[in-house]
Amino acid sequence: MSARLLKGKEVSDALVTQLSQEMAKLNFQPKLVFIRVGDDPASVAYVRGKNRLAEQIGICSLVNALPQETKQAELMELIAELNADDSVDGILVQLPLPEHLDSEPILEAIDPRKDVDGFHPMNVGRLWTGQEGLVPCTPAGLIRIMDHYQLPIEGRHVVIIGRSNLVGKPAAALFLRRHATVSLAHSRTRNLAALVKQADIIVAAVGRQALITPEMVKPAAVVLDVGISRVDGKLVGDVHPDVAEVAAHLTPMPGGTGRVTVAMLMQNTLQAAIVRRASG
C-alpha cells in the first residue's frame, strides 16, 4: 500500500483562504518589501512567486531589485531605511546573496519585528526559549502540514536529518514545543540508518538525493522531505521514491513543502503587522 501524499497545494490553499479572511478584517494593509541582489534565475523566480502570492492575499508587496555589484554598505543603508519606514511591516532579503556580500550582518541588521524570515538572532532566541516571535517559514510549514492532515506530534519520536539554521535547528525547536521527542542528526551521526528506523516522523533536510531509503523507514512513519537538489535538470528530494511503499504519509518533492513555506511567509507578514501596530 502506498503512502498517503501530503500535498503542499492543499495545505497552502487552506492557509491562503484563512489569511485572506483575516486580511479582510483589518483596517490597514500590511506591507512586505523584498530585497533581491543580482539576477540569479532561481532567486528571481522565488521572489516572483512570493510577490504574486502576497498580492493575491492583499498584502502590499514591493521588490527592490539591486544590481549584482551592490556593496555591503549600500545594502545595509537600504535595510536601515526600511527599518525606519513605519509603513513597512516585513523585510525579506532573498538568499543566497552574491559572494562578495556577508549575509550574517545583513540579516542581523533587519528589525526583529520586521524579520519575516525568522532568521534574526533575537527571533531565534525567542523560539528556543518558548516566547512569541517570528519563526522560519519552512519549519513552521512542517508543523502546519502535520496539523492540516491531523497527524499527531505529541509524544512522537521525530528524527531530523540536517542541522542548518534555516531548517534543521528551528524544526527541532518547533517539534519540541509540541512535546515531541527530537533527535537531530547530521553528517557525523553514527548509525544514522538505525536512528532513522526508530522515527515516527522523519524530516529530511540535507539536499542529498535518495538519502532516505525504504530500509531506513518503519511502517506507519510520516516522512517530510525538505531537501532539494537538481539532478539532470530535475528537482529531487532527499527521500528515495520507493519510500512511498513503506511510509504511511509522505510529502512529494516537488509539490510538498515548498508552497507551504511561501504561505507561511504571508502568515509571518500578517503577524508582524498586527503585533507591531499593537505594540506601537
C-alpha cell at 36: 533581491
SS3 183: strand
Question: Which residue blocks in 67-225 are alpha helix, DSSP H?
Answer: 72-84, 103-109, 121-128, 137-148, 168-177, 192-197
- Answer whether 61's CB lies under 8 Å from 32's CB: yes
Residue 54: its H or E element: helix 41-57
For the annotated catalytic residues, the residue numbers are 50, 94, 117
Phi-psi category of 191—alpha, beta or left, where left has phi over 0 and alpha has psi -120 to 50? left
Distance CA 260, CA 144 (A): 8
| Bond preceding residue 96 cis, omega within 30 of 0 | yes
Q: Do 146 and 117 form a contact (C-beta atoms < 8 A)?
A: no
Whole-angstrom distance, CA of residue 175 vs CA of residue 158: 8
Q: In whole angstroms, what separates CA 278 from the centre of its chain?
A: 25
Nearest one of 261, 255, 254, 227 to 138, comparing CA atoms: 261
